[in-house]
Amino acid sequence: MIFLIKIDYVTIVLIISAFQEFNYHRAGRWMDDHVVFTFQAVVLYLATIFSIQYWMKGREPFKLQIPVATWNFSIALVSGVCAWSMTPEFIDSVFHKGFNASLCSTREEVFSGNNGLALFVLLFARLPEFIDTLFIVLRKQPLLFIHYYHHAFTLCFTWFTYSSAFPSARHAIYVNALIHTVMYSYYLLTTLRIRPPPIVARCITIGQIVQFIYILYALVHLTAISFVNGEPCQINAKSLALTWFMDLSYLFHRAGRWMDDHVTFTFQAVMLYLMTVFSLKHWMSNREPFKLQLPVAVWNFAIALLS
């Protein structure tokens, strides 16, 4: 029955405890058997967070310093260990076998052994990562749509596509593990009231932007190889289409949030620009024009270089 929420804990323990004998095919069957479970989990997740958010109205926020610190430490530790385990294979596939091979023809390397186990653990961890949102609503922090949408969609997508075993997944999962290691370590410090220099937060934000650009580039490259050039590639059209949908939806929501955050600034900038232009035009009406050969040359070079 679809309303009966059931998860096979015994098999998942056996899969994760296998270490070097990690069996990808068994793990893939487990993921396939629990696709319906992911949708059930998402429904329960959304119902829980919005119920708690409603219940918290008129109540003081919980502090939860120790639970949140423990949680941040756990996520940083798991992400760091998995990223460390995946690093040798990632370097070998990208720098020795080549970028195209890392996207299209190295399935066995990424989904087997310690690397396969680390990747599986990171994808399984999408489920307990729902706890992130519980801490947000219990502490009455702003709950953004992109936050719970990202958690819900990523769980369903990764478990649904896992058994198709496309090697390009290594890029998104490995880079995300690196970012999570740094990000949750930073959260741990701030939860313990240790304030790193402001540049650390800016570097994390830059890292997240670079991560997204890199993944988008890899996705464009993969699409060009497989469907434009027609070269053989270990990915099916369904998984690729879902990946595009997921990444573009994240881009749309993040861009929308950025616009909302900066709409006042852009209006102010436009007004200042117009005032400056017309003021200078009036001031120059009875003056000789400036030559500005060198500044204009430098400006044109800079724009050409950036473009």
- Specify if 254 maps to a domain: yes
- Specify if 163 maps to a domain: yes
**In 85-104, which positions are buried (b, 16+ CB within 10 angstroms) versus exposed (e)?**
bbeebbeebbeeeeeeebbb
> How many domains, the chain?
1
- Specify if 302 maps to a domain: no
**pLDDT score recorded for residue 302:** 75
- Domain span at 233: 9-267
Mean pLDDT of the chain: 86
- Specify if 283 maps to a domain: no
Query: By C-alpha distance, which of 248, 46, 247 is closest to 145?
Result: 46
Give the pLDDT confidence of 63-73 residue by residue, as tens digits: 999 999 999 99
Give the pLDDT confidence of 32-60 residue by residue, as tens digits: 999 999 999 999 999 999 999 999 998 99
- Specify if 1 maps to a domain: no
- Specify if 225 maps to a domain: yes
- Specify if 189 maps to a domain: yes
- Specify if 227 maps to a domain: yes
Of the pLDDT bands very low, low, confident and very high (cuts 50, 70, 90), residue 210 is confident
**In 168-205, which positions are buried (b, 16+ CB within 10 angstroms) versus exposed (e)?**
bbbbbbbbbbbbbbbbbbbbbeebeeeeeeeeeeeebe
